[in-house]
Structure 1
Amino acid sequence: MSVETPEKWFDPEATTFGDRLAGARELAGMTQAQLAKRLGVKKKTMDDWENDVRDPRAMRLSMLAGLLNVSLLWLLTGKGDGPGDMPDPTSFVRSGHQLLDEVRAVSAQMKLNAERLERVERELQDLLKADDAGAA
């Protein structure tokens, strides 16, 4: 399958699973052999899938969707997030670093709050001791 642009190859009414698989693979810049190797299957198996001779098992379907950065629903039906619709995986990496920074900031704030709480508790205990001593 030769893919020029996503608009020219994908028609949800006309494409088969094999068409979607081949198109997404090509848009991902992989050959059949490269994708087959990453999946741990033979190139012939990949060819059979793309030509709708055989269907992959559920675990391989999930792996295909992940490797091709498409939703499983799209791969199976043509509906949902296809090539170019899924979020950029690197955005999760940046978000992960941002979350880690926030966790560190909250942790530092919690340490300061704990120290402040200990200080206020000591002051309260001293005040209560002074009140008890004055009442006696």
Structure 2
Amino acid sequence: MSTRSSEYTLGERICKARDASGLSTAQLARRLGIKTATMQSWESDRSEPRSNKLVLLAGVLNVSPTWLLVGRGTPPFAEEHDAADLDSMKVALDRVQRQAQALADEIATLQERISGS
């Protein structure tokens, strides 16, 4: 059973929306004109953004302020992946694993060449 957006805390929704946008905590903080530590406090529920920053945050993350506050509305991420999404992720993962293995092989070859010198 999947967790609904309204069951997450504000900090968890901020973090999930940030992840969905592909931004790091530091990148998001920079866009909002705040310190990274402030962003981390919001994401860990140690503090909450003021209303003006919440509206700005929602805009940057492409979600509604209502979704950030209470989890009502359209989330920025799919709660569950369909079979086609999973298949495409498996294909991408296989490709990346092959690339990683090729790089590991190349590194080993170069290390052998260096140590044989």
Q: TM-score, normalised by structure 2?
A: 0.61
- Measure how far apart 1:13 and its partner are: 4.5
Compared with structure 1, are the counterparts of its residues 37 and 15 closer, same or farther at alpha carbon in structure 2 (3 Å cutoff)?
A: same
Gaps of 5+ in 2: 79-117
Whether 2:16 is the aligned partner of 1:23: answer: yes
Q: Within 2, Cα distance between the matches of 1:77 and 1:13?
A: 6
Q: Match of 1:65? A: 58
Partner of 1:32: 25
| Cross-structure match for 1:122 | none
Higher Cα radius of gyration: 1
CA distance in 1, matches of 2:21, 2:62: 8
2:70 maps to what in 1? Answer: 77
| Gapped regions of structure 1 (runs ≥ 5) | 1-6, 86-136
Runs of 4+ in 1 over 3 A off after TM superposition: none
- Classify the secondary structure of the residue corresponding to 2:7: coil
Deviations 1:50-86 (A, max 9, x none): 000000000000001000000110000001122159x
Report the counterpart of residue 121 of structure 1 in structure 2: none
Equivalenced residue count is 78
Q: CA RMSD in A?
A: 1.9
Q: Partner of 2:76: helix, strand, or coil?
A: coil
Pick 1 or 2: higher relative contact order, CA cutoff 8 A, min separation 6: 2
